[in-house]
Structure 1
Amino acid sequence: MKHNDVEYNNDTSVEFLKMDVEGAEHKTLIPFLEEYRVCQIFLELHGSTSNHTQLLRKVATLDYALFSYEPNAYCSFCCEYSFIHLSCMERYGVSMSTLYLKNISTI
């Protein structure tokens, strides 16, 4: 997958990624995260609860922790999620008592 801005700058990591791609999150997010390490992700996710759970599990396997989640009041099948990569927690002074995405069963 080509990411021109990232490749143009010869970057291997991204500090912040904000994604609202109207349902294409399932096709685009994981391939991007497998290629680049992103410190923080801000994502509007569309789809059914099972689609959300499936993507959240995949994000968790890439060492991201959920730090914020909010239903979208204007879209009944959308939620806003914010994640931080475990390797970035110290840099941002983050400490979490529970990293609950690793064993997520339902949302």
Structure 2
Amino acid sequence: TSSEMEDCCAVCAEPLEWIAYGGCGHREVCATCTARLRVVLDDKRCCICKQECPFVFVTKVRFFLWFLLDSELTDSLSTGHQSGNLWFEADIGAYFDDEDEYKRIKAMC
């Protein structure tokens, strides 16, 4: 059904647990697919609207809150280590609010 599909990644069709989204706000793609596209294909565009997203934010789908990645935030975070409650992975340009998910995705890069 339509509601079941909304709970699945638009790329791999697996159930959404961790999402990655950029400034456009689309949150239909899982963190794993986003990382693969950003590292393997070097494609930093949103899978849904094709907007260039230099940075994405990775969080659990059930904890999704709008989180605007603006220059003030990116300037305040240092590459590759924890800053406040966020971790940054430079290869994919992704901020994480969970250390375990950060480590899982980092191991893929």
TM-score (norm 2): 0.31
TM-score (norm 1): 0.32
Structure ID, larger Rg: 1
Structure with higher RCO (Cα < 8 A, 6+ apart): 1
